[in-house]
Chains A and B, each alone.
Chain A
Amino acid sequence: MVTAAPILMDTPPSASAKSSAGKSPFSLPTVAVPSVSAPGGLAAPAGETLVDISHLDFFYQTSQALHDINLKIEAKKVTAFIGPSGCGKSTLLRCLNRMNDLIDGTRVARGTIKIHGVDIYQPDVDVIELRKRVGMVFQKSNPFPKSIYENITYGLRLQGLNDKAKLDAVVEKSLRGAALWDEVKDRLDSSGLGLSGGQQQRLCIARAIAVEPEVILMDEPCSALDPVATAKVEELIQELRERFTIVIVTHNMQQAARCSDTTAFFYLGKLIEFAATRDIFTNPANAQTEAYVSGRFG
Chain B
Amino acid sequence: MSAPAVHRFQSQPNAARRSERAAFWLFRAATYLVLACGLGVFGTIFFKGAGTVFKAEAPFINTTFFTDAPESLYIFEFEGKKYEMGDRAFRAFKEKHPAAAKVKSESYVYSAGGIFPCIVGTVLLVVGSMTIALVLGVCAAIYLNEYARDGLFIRFVRLAILNLAGVPSIVFGLFGFGMFVIYFGWNVSLLAGWFTLAFMVLPVVITASEESLKAVPKGFREGSLALGATKWQTIRKNVVPYALPGILTSSILGIARVAGETAPIMFTAAYVVRDKLPWEVEKAGEFLFQGVMALPYHIYVVSSKIPQNDYTERVQYGTAFVFLLVVALIAASSILLRNHLRSRYKW
Contacts and interface: CB of A to CB of B under 8 A. Distances in A.
A25 B230 CA distance: 21
Nearest to A142: B219
Contacts of B224: 144, 154
Which bracket fits the contact residues of B?
Answer: 20 to 34
A102 B222 contact: yes
If over half of B's interface residues share one DSSP class (helix, strand or loop), that class is named, otherwise mixed; here it is helix
A59 to B, nearest CB: 16
Interface in A91-125: 97, 99, 102, 104
Nearest to B229: A158
B345 to A, nearest CB: 6
A208 interface: yes
Nearest to B346: A145
A104 B227 CA distance: 21
Contact of B347 (A129, A158, A193): A193
Interface in B205-240: 217, 219-230, 233, 237-238
A132 to B, nearest CB: 3
A57 to B, nearest CB: 22
Given A142-B217, A144-B238, A145-B346, A104 B225 contact: no
A191 interface: yes
A93 to B, nearest CB: 11
Interface string A124-139: 0000110111011010
Nearest to A156: B227
A159 interface: yes
Contacts of A136: 222, 226
A36 B149 CA distance: 41
B79 interface: no
Nearest to A104: B149
B341 to A, nearest CB: 12
Contacts of B110: none
Contacts of A132: 227-228
Interface string A200-213: 00001001100100
A158 B140 CA distance: 25
Interface centre among A104, A138, A158 (most CB of B within 10 A): A158
Contact of A99 (B222, B237, B345): B222
Nearest to A136: B226
B227 A158 contact: yes
Given A128-B230, A144-B220, A145-B242, A102 B225 contact: yes
B226 A99 contact: yes
B220 A142 contact: yes
B228 A191 contact: no
Contact of B223 (A97, A104, A144, A191): A144
A173 interface: no
A13 interface: no
A215 to B, nearest CB: 11
B63 to A, nearest CB: 45
Contacts of B220: 142, 144-145
A63 B223 CA distance: 26
A154 B217 CA distance: 17
B150 interface: yes
Contacts of B237: 154, 158
Nearest to B151: A104
B157 to A, nearest CB: 16
Nearest to A204: B223
A132 B242 CA distance: 24
A176 to B, nearest CB: 19
A155 interface: yes
Nearest to A150: B237
A144 B347 CA distance: 8
A104 B154 CA distance: 13
A238 B225 CA distance: 26
B233 A208 contact: no
Interface in A68-105: 97, 99, 102, 104
Given A102-B222, A138-B223, A144-B224, A155 B242 contact: no
Q: Closest 6 A-B residue pairs measured CB to CB?
A: A142-B219, A132-B228, A145-B347, A136-B226, A155-B227, A142-B223
Given A102-B221, A158-B233, A208-B227, 16 more contacts: A99-B225, A99-B226, A131-B226, A131-B227, A132-B228, A136-B222, A136-B226, A142-B220, A144-B224, A154-B224, A155-B229, A158-B228, A158-B230, A191-B346, A193-B347, A211-B228
22 contacts: A99-B225, A102-B222, A104-B149, A128-B228, A132-B227, A133-B228, A135-B227, A136-B222, A136-B226, A138-B222, A142-B217, A145-B220, A145-B242, A145-B346, A155-B227, A158-B227, A158-B233, A158-B237, A193-B347, A208-B226, A211-B227, A211-B228
